[in-house]
């Protein structure tokens, strides 16, 4: 993943992670290295076809069973887990992403209700698939909106005109055509859920409250889609498998146990089915079964980094930190550009309480922060690593960085001040502490607004 950008900066949010399994009704931003990578594989060609730089477009996943996708605050695409689960084919999911990309390419404005900034103290819920921990940076602000959705109706905030919807359809069809993909998925998605237009506002899925469908719109979409699809190549087996894997992982982690067994009974020996059952066994604390299933998957796909990631997570969360290092290390070797995998490895290394391992963890966290400077939990773990080495000034500064990314300006100021007292001002870390103090100073009217400036990776001794 590229560096996380700041979004919805007009909303203040203090985020507190819940390092627990998510219930089906929980709502919030979730992170998972595997799902994020698959969505990138699906989306980046579409972003490029739209003339966008893929690394400049952020993709966020919201745990919510309802069907929805939207763009907000510039080049930020939000996808509900319910949408991923509802997609029958890769073309359906890609078609919706292409449509949302059309809103970005068309420069369509997104109306936000005044209630957007009303929520405070909401929870930043992390799935724990890649890292059961805090994730902040840019999305912390968005959570002020998402966490309070039950109170004021999330999707009443995002309203699009019918003209913009039709334009986004045509943009999306252009992007599917440029990437040589069928547009039938977008049409089938719209037609399948067209009956929603007949429902009352309260019963509609959010997607169809904010993306109104009309007969004229469906007709125009269908006519053009035929032309696009006639020239398209079929979806690759890999793309189809990726969708199956995303669904299996989501069902395993956020679905009730009964749903896992009904969708993936023991008679189903496919890789996605075993994946879902391994995750479900882990959630049920049946560690022996979970490890048996994941080992079977590793045997079949020994180059799959995310199977090793899951094995490492199972071992780490079972209190077996030393044993978890090997699988996490293997996942990083296979996917060296995945920041979340590096943070997982660092946590396991720190958990061993070995001095050399802690030093290695520091390096992994520094690498992760080069990839994602806004990752608050990586700063949190870097503070732990520094503290274990007796580098208290650096630990205080890393804690200030964590608080700053979470939008907790009071805590950021206090820890930056503590760090400044221990560090030499003329060093990069000393200057960084001074910068955070200036930006988070409660006496500074602009102190509560984060601004993009260089972030030091703390390497001083």
At which residue do the structure tokens 């990083």 appear? 332
Residue 66: the pLDDT is 85
Residue 211: the pLDDT is 56
Pairing of strands 28-30, 69-71: unpaired
At which residue do the structure tokens 């989306």 appear? 43
Better pLDDT: 162 or 250: 250
> Where residue 217 falls among pLDDT bands split at 50, 70, 90?
confident
Better pLDDT: 298 or 153: 298
Contacts 24+ apart (CB under 8 A), 397-402: 397/423, 397/429, 397/432, 397/433, 397/436, 397/458, 398/458, 400/433, 400/436, 401/376, 401/436, 401/455, 402/134, 402/136, 402/376, 402/377
Residue 3: the pLDDT is 26
At which residue do the structure tokens 């189903």 appear? 268
Please provide the average confidence, as pLDDT, over all residues in the chain. 80
* C-alpha dihedral sign at 439, 443, 444, 447: positive
**Lowest pLDDT segment from 3-7, 43-47, 340-344:** 3-7
Residue 161: the pLDDT is 65
Q: Is residue 126 a contact partner of residue 30, using CB atoms and an 8 Å limit?
A: yes
Closest residue by Cα to residue 171 from 234, 225, 106, 237 = 106
Fold match between domain 16-230 and domain 239-440? no
Better pLDDT: 156 or 229: 229
Q: Is residue 51 a contact partner of residue 105, using CB atoms and an 8 Å limit?
A: yes
Q: What share of the chain has pLDDT > 90, as a percent?
A: 60
Q: In this predicted model, what pLDDT tens digit does every residue of 102-150 receive, in sequence order?
A: 999 988 754 333 323 332 222 233 333 333 332 333 344 344 434 433 3
Residue 193: the pLDDT is 60
- Please state at what angle helix 237-254 crosses helix 90-105, rounded to 10 degrees: 90
Pairing of strands 69-71, 76-80: antiparallel
Distances (CA, A) of 221 to 46, 184, 186: 18, 10, 9
pLDDT above 90 (res 197): no
Strand partners, 63: 28
Distance between the two ends of the chain, CA-based, in angstroms?
Answer: 29
Torsional class of 137: left (φ above 0), alpha (ψ -120 to 50), beta (otherwise): left
Q: In this predicted model, what pLDDT tens digit does every residue of 304-351 receive, in sequence order?
A: 999 999 999 999 999 999 999 999 999 999 999 999 999 999 999 999
CATH class of 16-230: alpha beta
For residues 257 and 283, what is the distance between their CA atoms, to the nearest angstrom? 9
Sequence-distant (≥ 6) Cβ neighbours of residue 256 within 8 angstroms: 24
- Does the 239-440 domain belong in CATH 1.10.10.60? no
Round the CA-based radius of gyration of the chain to a whole number and report it.
23
Q: In this predicted model, what pLDDT tens digit does every residue of 50-99 receive, in sequence order?
A: 999 999 999 999 998 888 888 887 899 999 999 999 999 999 999 999 99
For residues 408 and 424, what is the distance between their CA atoms, to the nearest angstrom? 25
Q: Which two tokens stand for residue 61?
A: 């996943």
Can you give the length of the chain in residues? 461
Helices (H) and strands (E) in the chain, counts: 21, 6
Residue 352: the pLDDT is 96
Residue 50: the pLDDT is 96
Spell out the domain ranges in the chain.
16-230, 239-440
pLDDT above 90 (res 435): yes
Q: In this predicted model, what pLDDT tens digit does every residue of 349-379 receive, in sequence order?
A: 999 999 999 999 999 999 999 999 999 999 9
Q: Is residue 361 a contact partner of residue 385, using CB atoms and an 8 Å limit?
A: yes
């Amino acid at each position: 993943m590229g560096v996380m950008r700041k979004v919805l900066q007009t909303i203040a949010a203090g985020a507190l992670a819940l390092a627990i399994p998510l219930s089906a009704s929980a709502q919030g931003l979730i992170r998972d290295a595997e799902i994020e990578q698959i969505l990138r594989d699906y989306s980046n060609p579409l972003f490029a076809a739209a003339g966008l730089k893929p690394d400049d477009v952020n993709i966020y996943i919201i745990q919510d069973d309802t069907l929805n996708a939207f763009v907000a605050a510039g080049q930020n695409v939000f996808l509900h887990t319910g949408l991923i689960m509802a997609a029958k084919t890769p073309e359906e999911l890609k078609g919706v992403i292409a449509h949302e990309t059309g809103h970005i390419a068309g420069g369509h404005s997104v109306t936000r209700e005044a209630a957007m900034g009303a929520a405070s103290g909401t929870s930043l819920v992390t799935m724990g698939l890649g890292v059961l921990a805090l994730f902040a940076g840019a999305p912390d602000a968005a959570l002020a909106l998402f966490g309070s959705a039950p109170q004021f109706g999330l999707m009443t905030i995002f309203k699009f005109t019918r003209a913009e919807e039709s334009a986004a359809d045509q943009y999306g069809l252009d992007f599917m055509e440029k990437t040589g993909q069928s547009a039938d998925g977008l049409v089938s998605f719209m037609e399948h859920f067209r009956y929603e237009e007949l429902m009352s506002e309260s019963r509609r899925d959010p997607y169809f409250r904010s993306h109104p469908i009309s007969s004229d719109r469906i007709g125009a979409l269908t006519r053009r889609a035929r032309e696009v699809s006639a020239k398209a190549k079929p979806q690759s087996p890999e793309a189809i498998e990726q969708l199956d894997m995303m669904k299996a992982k989501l069902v395993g982690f956020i679905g009730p146990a009964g749903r896992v067994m009904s969708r993936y009974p023991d008679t189903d020996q496919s890789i996605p089915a075993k994946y879902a059952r391994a995750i479900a066994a882990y959630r049920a604390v049946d560690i022996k079964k979970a490890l048996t299933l994941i080992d079977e998957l590793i045997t079949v796909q020994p180059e799959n980094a995310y199977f090793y990631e899951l094995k490492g997570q199972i071992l780490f969360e079972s209190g077996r930190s030393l044993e978890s290092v090997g699988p996490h290390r293997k996942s990083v070797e296979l996917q060296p550009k995945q920041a979340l995998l590096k943070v997982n490895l660092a946590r396991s290394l720190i958990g061993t309480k070995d001095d050399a391992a802690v030093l290695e963890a520091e390096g992994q966290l520094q690498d992760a922060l080069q990839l994602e400077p806004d990752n608050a939990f990586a700063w949190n773990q870097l503070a732990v690593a520094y503290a274990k080495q007796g580098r208290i000034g650096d630990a205080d500064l890393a804690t200030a960085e964590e608080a700053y990314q979470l939008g907790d300006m009071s805590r950021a100021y206090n820890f930056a001040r503590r760090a400044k007292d221990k560090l030499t001002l003329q060093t990069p870390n000393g200057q960084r502490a001074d910068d955070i103090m200036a930006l988070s100073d409660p006496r500074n009217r602009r102190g509560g607004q984060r601004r993009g400036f260089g972030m030091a990776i703390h390497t001083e001794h």
